[in-house]
Amino acid sequence: MSLDLAEAVLAPDEPTDHRPSRKRGAVPVRLISFATLAVLLAAWQVSASLALVPSLFLPAPAAVFGQFVAVARDGFVDATLAQHLAASLGRVFAALTAAIVVGVPIGFAIGASPVGRGIFDPLIEILRPIPPLAYLPLVIIWFGIGEPSKILIIAIAMLAPIVIATASGVRAVATDRLNAARALGATRRQLVRHVVLPSALPSVLTGVRIALGTGWSTLVAAELVAASRGLGFMIQSAAQFLVTDVVVMGILVIAAVAFALEALIRLVERWLVPWAGKA
Amino acid sequence: MAHLAIESVSLRYDDGPQVLGGVSLDLRDGEFLVVVGRSGCGKTSLLNLAAGFVPPTTGRVAVNGVAITGPGADRAVVFQDDALFPWLSTAENVALGPRLSGIGKAERRRIAENQLAIVGLEGLADRPIWRLSGGQRQRVGLARALAARPTFLLMDEPLGALDAMTREAMQELLVEVWAKSGAGVLLITHGVEEALFLATRIVVMAPNPGRIVKTLNVDFSRRRLAGESARSIKSSRDFVAMREALLDAIFEREAA
């Protein structure tokens, strides 16, 4: 009876129950993420130690790391890991440059003028959903199997995100800021240079970030054809010889580089547009 | 003597209702004209017309007898949400007008520091504007407008987003700046006390469509310039009487 009473008295104290739950939300997410990765790695190690899966299908972590060291030092199919990486990064950054040079003006035209929007919007909307593997054969028929084709395939994949982000940045320029500059005597050209371009820059950089992700994931497709270097090429060659540990190592390197690129572009954002989201 | 004239202007955006109907208003340099009225009476539209941001549907806006065709550096604008450029430093924001007209870097710096001192922001020239408080940002917006050496200064509820204490300080600053610059000021507000404290002339607007229903001449800002304290002015008998008269003018039409 007294126990019931105690419960009845304690029951309305729900707010005290809410506070710990909010604390639970504040648990460091990073720690959980690291734990998840650690558990995954441990499971991988255990299954390799107990030989649950033939190493042809799943090589041991130590074997993969061993290949990382070996390929970094001695190379795989006539090139070291650094050379493969440099070839891939070179293609992705050449493609990024091309996509920015072409995409930013197109995005600007779409965002700033109805005519530009009428011309380019349908083209971009048609191009955007096509998977790179679908236009790969056509690009090869048109431009051959050389380096330009590989760069072009990546650049096409990068184009849409940059165009769309630029257009939305240009469209979102604050009317008050445009008016403020006009009332200070700005000409049309000065408006573009002093207001529209800097206003759109954070959005353009977001587009570049998305494009880098897209471009990097298109890399393997681009290196399917007649490449002699590159991370994608390395993985495919290794797969043909059933060198599974190099395949796994290559995949992990691609993932790590993607992560590093993301971090890099965030640094660039902090340096170029420190005001973004603050004013 | 410079003269901004709004002549029998009406305004309608596309197929919307009529925003302004037959408004005529003069602004001369050295005058502090305040427009008050309830929300939706077309105050801001009137300022946008004077600035040249929108063209009138009928009638015209003229400066010294010449119809305007758009915004110009002779009519500087201070916005309610400051409209500063976050990619420029405080000094660069202030000196944007001189920069657009091709004035050199050293001279721009001198202008910026000068104007920042006038609005009480010495030493903040190199601060990014996103590190400034709301009141400081509004001062930068004012300094930017003044740096263009405008003949007319148009302000759209410049103190609307500030807290009460900051607003009182800004009101005194506006009176000083107006007296020093000699510009003709057009200020939009819904603050009745603010209007009385700042204006040499008050225009009351009413909605549907926006029009002028009353004009009052006041001189409290001159009393402030003569050295009387803001508190003493705002608690004086004639200020309180004027405030009631002004409130009546603003709300009369609604009761009828």
The per-residue pLDDT for range A199-210, each reduced to its tens digit, is 999 999 999 999
Nearest-Cα residue of chain B relative to residue A200? B87
Interface test with B, best of A179, A189, A199 (most B CBs within 10 A): A179
Cβ contact B76–A181 (<8 Å): no
* Distance (Å) from the alpha carbon of A125 to chain B's nearest alpha carbon: 31
Name every chain A residue with its beta carbon within 8 A of the beta carbon of B140: none
> Is the pLDDT score of A176 beyond 50?
yes
Rounded mean pLDDT of B132-150? 92
Q: What is the pLDDT of residue B186?
A: 96
The contact set of B with A (CB < 8 A) is: 51-53, 70-73, 75-77, 79, 81, 83-87, 96-97, 100-101, 128-130, 144-145, 148, 154
> Is the pLDDT score of B189 beyond 50?
yes
Rounded mean pLDDT of A165-179? 94
Which of A11-15, A140-144, B124-128, B235-239 is predicted least confidently? A11-15
The contact set of A with B (CB < 8 A) is: 174, 176-177, 179-187, 190, 194-195, 198, 201, 273-275, 278-279
> Is the pLDDT score of A177 beyond 60?
yes
Q: What is the pLDDT of residue B162?
A: 86
> Is the pLDDT score of A6 beyond 60?
no
Name every chain B residue with its beta carbon within 8 A of the beta carbon of A194: 85, 96, 100
Name every chain B residue with its beta carbon within 8 A of the beta carbon of A177: 83, 85
- Determine how many CB atoms are found less than 10 A away from the CB of residue A190: 17
Residue A69 · residue A56 · CB < 8 Å = no
Q: What is the pLDDT of residue A279?
A: 63
Q: What is the pLDDT of residue A15?
A: 41
What three-state secondary structure class fits A166?
helix
What b-and-e string marks burial along B162-200, b requiring 16 or more CB atoms within 10 Å of the CB?
A: beeebbbebbebbbebbeebebbbbbbbbbbbbbbbbbb
How far is the C-alpha of A142 from the C-alpha of B207, rounded, in Å? 66
Rounded mean pLDDT of B82-91? 93
Rounded mean pLDDT of B176-185? 92
Interface test with B, best of A178, A184, A271 (most B CBs within 10 A): A184
Of B75, B81, B129, the CB nearest to A176: B81
How far is the C-alpha of A9 from the C-alpha of A6, rounded, in Å? 5
Q: What is the pLDDT of residue A10?
A: 40
Exposed / middle / buried, residue A180 (Cβ in 10 Å: 0-12, 13-18, 19+): buried
B254, B141, B144, B246: which is closest to B203 by C-alpha? B246
Interface test with A, best of B87, B137, B140 (most A CBs within 10 A): B87
Residue B33 · residue B198 · CB < 8 Å = no
Of the pLDDT bands very low, low, confident and very high (cuts 50, 70, 90), residue A54 is: confident
Query: Token pair for residue A251?
Result: 């995949």
Nearest-Cα residue of chain B relative to residue A274? B87
Q: Look at phi and psi of residue B53 and say left if phi exceeds 0, alpha if psi is from -120 to 50, else beta.
A: alpha
Of the pLDDT bands very low, low, confident and very high (cuts 50, 70, 90), residue A48 is: confident
> Between the CA of residue A242 and those of A55, A80, A236, A252, B174, what are the distances in Å?
11, 19, 10, 17, 79
Domains of chain B plus CATH, in order, are: 3-74+150-255 (3.40.50.300), 85-147 (no CATH)
- The 10s digit of each residue's pLDDT in B105-119 is 999 999 999 999 999
Cβ contact A182–B87 (<8 Å): no
* Distance (Å) from the alpha carbon of B15 to chain A's nearest alpha carbon: 21
Rounded mean pLDDT of A25-33? 84
DSSP A276: T
Residue with tokens 């740096």: B147
Rounded mean pLDDT of A164-186? 94
> Is the pLDDT score of A242 beyond 50?
yes
- The 10s digit of each residue's pLDDT in A63-111 is 899 989 998 899 888 889 999 999 999 999 999 999 999 999 999 999 9
Name every chain A residue with its beta carbon within 8 A of the beta carbon of B75: 183
Of the pLDDT bands very low, low, confident and very high (cuts 50, 70, 90), residue A5 is: very low
Decide which of A137 and A11 is more confident.
A137
Element (H, E) at B140: helix B134-147
Nearest-Cα residue of chain A relative to residue B83? A177
Query: Token pair for residue B158?
Result: 């410049």
> Is the pLDDT score of B41 beyond 80?
yes
* Distance (Å) from the alpha carbon of B91 to chain A's nearest alpha carbon: 15
> Is the pLDDT score of B254 beyond 90?
no
Q: Is there a cis peptide before residue A198, judged by omega within 30 degrees of 0?
A: no
Rounded mean pLDDT of B161-184? 90
Name every chain B residue with its beta carbon within 8 A of the beta carbon of A172: none
Rounded mean pLDDT of A187-191? 93
CATH of domain A66-272: 1.10.3720.10
Cβ contact B79–A180 (<8 Å): yes
> Is the pLDDT score of A12 beyond 70?
no
Cβ contact A183–B73 (<8 Å): yes
